[in-house]
Amino acid sequence: MKTDSFIRLIAGSFVVIGVVLTHFVSSWWILLPLFVGLNLLQSSITQFCPPTLLLQKLGWVDESNVIHWGGFKK
């Protein structure tokens, strides 16, 4: 899986979770999808994305931005 697809998967999941929690739990949960949207806007402008940075620090992303879950096998 490429990092771009992973970021879209995570962002979409958090938006859906936030909307469901807003509907069933509290209107304050609308802040979760708002935060995700703002983070996506920020990362498109600055090219800084915290989940991608975390995956790189774990050593799970190769040079072509493909995620290898658990790291590389040696």
The predicted model gives 1-25 an average pLDDT of 95
Q: Is the pTM here over 0.85, yes or no?
A: no
pLDDT value for 73: 63
In a domain, 70, yes or no: no
In a domain, 73, yes or no: no
Tokens of 24: 């069933």
pLDDT digits (tens, 9 = 90+) for 25-73: 999 999 999 999 999 999 999 999 888 889 889 888 988 889 988 877 6
CA geometry: angle 2, 5, 11, nearest 5 deg: 140
**In the chain, how many domains are there?**
1
In a domain, 47, yes or no: yes
End-to-end alpha-carbon separation of the chain, Å?
20
pLDDT value for 63: 86
